[in-house]
């Protein structure tokens, strides 16, 4: 290393500070997923594809949180109907 480089006062860390309420992570996404989000930003005339991914994840998170009870109810209803439907089909075949 050259002697004119002096890193004695340097500090390690990210170049840009992370905004409050945000966490810097590394995540592996499929190329076509990232390409789709980038395309959306490009077609909108600019912006940040990471913000779009964050919004999509938030929407999915909120949807799942509010619909868990609905999903459980639907599955239970389907399971209760199946035996009744099988019994009705069996009776029809016997006739």
Classify 86 as helix, strand or coil: helix
- Judge whether residue 86 has pLDDT over 80: no
Q: What is the mean pLDDT of residues 2-22?
A: 82
User: Is residue 52 included in any domain, yes or no?
Assistant: yes
Structure confidence at residue 3 (pLDDT): 72
User: Is residue 73 included in any domain, yes or no?
Assistant: yes
pLDDT range class, residue 13, cuts 50, 70, 90: confident
Which residue did the predictor score with more confidence, 37 or 15? 37
Region of 47 (left: φ > 0; alpha: ψ -120 to 50; beta: rest) is: left
User: Is residue 8 included in any domain, yes or no?
Assistant: no
Q: What domain count does the chain have?
A: 1
User: Is residue 17 included in any domain, yes or no?
Assistant: no
User: Is residue 50 included in any domain, yes or no?
Assistant: yes
Which residue did the predictor score with more confidence, 70 or 66? 70
Q: Could you tell me the residue range of the domain that residue 64 belongs to?
A: 31-94
Nearest to 54 by CA among 86, 84, 29: 29
pLDDT range class, residue 42, cuts 50, 70, 90: very high
Q: Nearest 10 degrees: CA dihedral of 62, 64, 69, 74?
A: 140
pLDDT range class, residue 16, cuts 50, 70, 90: confident
């Amino acid at each position: 290393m050259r002697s004119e480089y002096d890193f004695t006062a340097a500090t390690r860390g990210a170049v840009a500070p992370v905004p409050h309420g945000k966490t810097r992570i590394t995540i592996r996404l499929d190329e076509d997923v990232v390409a789709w989000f980038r395309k959306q930003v490009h077609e909108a005339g600019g912006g940040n594809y990471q913000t779009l991914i964050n919004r999509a994840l938030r929407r999915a998170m909120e949807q799942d949180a509010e619909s868990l009870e609905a999903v459980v109810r639907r599955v239970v209803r389907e399971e209760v109907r199946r035996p009744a439907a099988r019994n009705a089909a069996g009776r029809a075949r016997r006739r």
